[in-house]
Amino acid sequence: MEYIPAVFKAVSVTFSGLAMWIGANGVFRPTSFAAGFGIPIDNTGKAPRGGDRTQHQSATSEPTTRAYVRLMGIRELATGVILALFARQGKWDEMATILVTIGVLVAGTDGLFLARVAGRTDLGVFHALPGGMIALLSGLFLWQRT
């Protein structure tokens, strides 16, 4: 199991870069970022026609949805930057602790909500499975160090 530290470091640095890229997409491309979570955002920017109240509510909440999605992107970007800084400083235990937490709580919750609430099992697995694998690898890294 002496290969675990090298694999963990490679995966965690890769995850850091991907988190920054995904976060930047959330900030600058909120519509496509939101689609990855099963959240449709109207890309037309047009006001609704007629008196359809549901359509009106959806259209008026669209700027709020975009703002919230951008905030999600900033948080993802910040996570990537923090992980990159820890990697640069050689703080691998701290990085592993964060990745276990993110892998279980964040990716697990994303997967659960996408599968059960949004009815998108495909997106749920897409979010939860890699997060679980990263959490497992990070946990093995920490366990091996003790």
What's residue 5's pLDDT?
Answer: 95
Structure tokens given for 46: 């047009």
Contact 44, 83 (CB under 8 A): no
Tell me the whole-structure pTM to 2 decimals.
Answer: 0.81
Using 50, 70 and 90 to split pLDDT, how confident is the model at 42? confident
What's residue 75's pLDDT?
Answer: 96
Using 50, 70 and 90 to split pLDDT, how confident is the model at 146? confident
Average pLDDT, the chain: 88
Using 50, 70 and 90 to split pLDDT, how confident is the model at 41? confident
Residue 44 to residues 30, 31, 41, 47, 63: CA-CA distances in angstroms? 13, 11, 9, 9, 12
What's residue 46's pLDDT?
Answer: 54
Q: Is the pLDDT of residue 118 over 90?
A: no
Alpha helices in 44-120 (DSSP H): 53-89, 92-101, 107-112
What's residue 98's pLDDT?
Answer: 97
